[in-house]
Amino acid sequence: MQKPLVFLAVASALVIQSPAPLHACGDKLLLLGRGIRFQSRHTPHAATVLLYLPAATGGGGTLADPKLESALREAHHQVRAVGTRDELTTALRDGRYDVVLADVAEASEVQRTLAAADAVVLPVVYLLGPAGRPEKKADAARAKKEFSAVLEIPGRPGHYCAMVDKAMELKLKRDRSQARGK
């Protein structure tokens, strides 16, 4: 009876002091790629976003990419969509918005409408636009010169949030420069 206990004690001591590394499941990920970065869609500045989606753009009041609205909501932005010019005017009069997403063809006109408002216009370029209005990267480049940031649809949800964050940074920078000027 004593021999099996001694054998068990010696065997367990050898196993414990064994130089062979035993890795847990997560350690393999750390060894291969030195850790995995998990992308969070949480934003440093939550924005109130107004989506101007007139029926004339082919969207018919709906988004060409349904991931846009859900990605913005997941990043803790407040989102509201309007479909007509009257709804846009009413929304801007009644509410306070940080960013207004508008079709690239109407972004300049929406910018003039926002002259009194505190919002920033973020033009939207539909890379796979509706028939009769094929929009390409040239439209995006032209809009970037005028607005500094352009949202391209279709795209990745993280890209949508990044562009809204960039628009918020532009708005905050503009607000700081206006505060210094006063």
* Ordered DSSP codes for the chain: -HHHHHHHHHHHHHHHT--S----HHHHHHHHHSS-PPPP---SS--EEEEE--GGGTSTTS-SSTHHHHHHHHTT-EEEEE-SHHHHHHHHHHS--SEEEEETTTHHHHHHHTTSS--EEEEEEETTPPTT----HHHHHHHHHHHS--EEES--HHHHHHHHHHHHHHHHHHHHHHHHH-
For residue 112, with 0-12 CB atoms within 10 Å meaning exposed, 13-18 middle and 19 or more buried, which class applies?
Answer: exposed
- Residue 146, both tokens: 């005028």
> Domain count of the chain?
1
CATH number at residue 143: 3.40.50.2300
93 assigned to some structural domain: yes
Which residues, 6 or more positions from 82, have their beta carbon under 8 angstroms from its beta carbon? 50, 51, 52, 53, 88, 90, 91
Q: Is 1 a member of any domain? A: no
Tens of pLDDT along the chain (182 residues)?
678 888 888 888 777 776 656 555 655 555 555 555 555 556 667 888 888 877 654 444 445 677 888 888 888 888 888 888 888 888 888 888 888 888 888 888 888 877 666 788 888 877 665 554 555 667 767 777 887 788 877 778 888 888 888 888 888 888 888 778 76
31 lies in some domain: no
Instruction: Give the pTM.
Output: 0.66
* Residue numbers of the domain that contains 94: 48-181
Is 177 a member of any domain? yes
Cα separation, 18 vs 160, in Å, equals 52
